[in-house]
Amino acid sequence: MRNFSVAAAQMGPIQKNDSRETVISRMIELMDQAQKEGADFIVYPELALTTFFPRYYMEDQNDVDFWFETDMPSKKTNPLFEHAKSLGMAMSFGYAELTPEGRHFNTSIHVDKTGSIVGKYRKVHLPGHTEFDPKRTHQHLEKRYFEPGDLGFPVYRTLDGIFGLCICNDRRWPETYRVMGLQGVEMITLGYNTPSTNSQKSTEGPEKRMFHSSLVMQAGAYQNSTWVIGVAKAGIEDGHPLFGGSVIVNPDGEIVAQASTDGDELLVHSCDLDDTVFGKKTMFDFVRHRQIKHYTRITSQVGVELPKDL
């Protein structure tokens, strides 16, 4: 058995005026609670240090860069790293990264029990748009403030297993899970900030949006025989509702823990990485069953193209 306890640390809203110090204090409180409940590893949401700032249209680059971290750990985030190290707890969280070269990414990291960063991922599937759109009920400007991730979907070894990261919209793309699945991933951690309503006045309500969120994570877990830890930021953030529904999904695609509130909430569950073995070797034996000669369209084509005989 390769067993440990994971804490999915859903966070309630982070308002625009909340300081980094205030947010870090909340994250430490959740970490202390997780430690009391026996957790070895705590997972926080996407952009865990700030409000979801891509909802705001900004032209001044200084206003944009305010939301980004140039170092990790930084002076303001170092207390979180030190506290985790003192508890011997691994952690994962998302933040806005500004590189020394001036590049902007929506990033997530995995920090081991010694305080060292062992995994890093930059969001590949950026939703939204680049310019202000008056037809939308709220803006979603990730394409304006971030560039697509340049690290691919790497996996890394820690906690006696093989781990991977993805962020928010990535969870809706089967390629995300499959690329990591082909590298033997046993646990995928992902954070998200998802509005309860569609910005383009869709009739899709929060219940259906949450259903779709869980559906894709369950499918990704089952089809690649991996644990999936999906952690939300939730509640009314600067007047904009985000849905929660944080989940822990086992390698059979079953939800074994799910959040029930829109605030700070902790889900703690014991996960055995050996539970991935049966599905990888029996149900989805990639070596025996994959037929890659029929999959070339996936990597050679972007949009929909009808066959010429249709």
pLDDT single digits (tens) 210-259: 999 999 999 999 999 999 999 999 999 999 999 999 999 999 999 999 99
Using only C-alpha atoms, the chain has a radius of gyration, in whole angstroms, of: 19
**Rounded Cα–Cα distance for residues 121 and 153 (Å):** 7
In the chain the domains, ranked by start, together with CATH numbers, are 3-285 (3.60.110.10)
Q: What does the pLDDT average to over 189-195?
A: 97
Q: Is the pTM of this model over 0.85?
A: yes
- Confidence class of residue 203 from pLDDT cuts 50, 70 and 90? low
Strands 227-233 and 187-193: parallel
Contact criterion met (CB below 8 Å) for 129 and 140: yes
Q: Decide if 46 is catalytic.
A: yes
The whole-angstrom separation of Cα 96 and Cα 65 is: 9
pLDDT of residue 88: 98
Average pLDDT of the chain to the nearest whole number: 96
Mean pLDDT of 179-201: 90
Active-site annotation holds for 271: no
Give the separation between CA 183 and CA 264, rounded to whole angstroms. 33
Sign of CA dihedral 195, 196, 201, 204: positive
Q: What is the mean predicted confidence (pLDDT) over 192-218?
A: 84
- Whether residue 229 contacts residue 266, with contact meaning beta carbons closer than 8 Å, is answered with no
Q: What pLDDT band is residue 207 in, cutting at 50, 70 and 90? A: confident
Task: Let me know if 123 is a catalytic residue.
Answer: yes
Cross-strand bridge partners of residue 144: none
- Active-site pick, 97, 142, 166, 168: 168
Q: Looking at the predicted structure, is the pLDDT value of residue 134 above 60?
A: yes
Residue 206's pLDDT band, with cuts at 50, 70 and 90, is confident
Residue 262 in this model has a pLDDT that exceeds 60: yes
Q: Which of 97, 123, 233, 280 is catalytic?
A: 123
In the prediction, which pLDDT does 199 show? 57
What is the structure's pLDDT at 137?
78
Structure tokens at 100: 């020394």
Categorize the per-residue pLDDT at 305 as very low, low, confident or very high, splitting at 50, 70 and 90. Answer: very high
Distance spanning both ends of the chain, measured CA to CA: 53
Q: Is the predicted pLDDT of residue 200 greater than 90, yes or no?
A: no
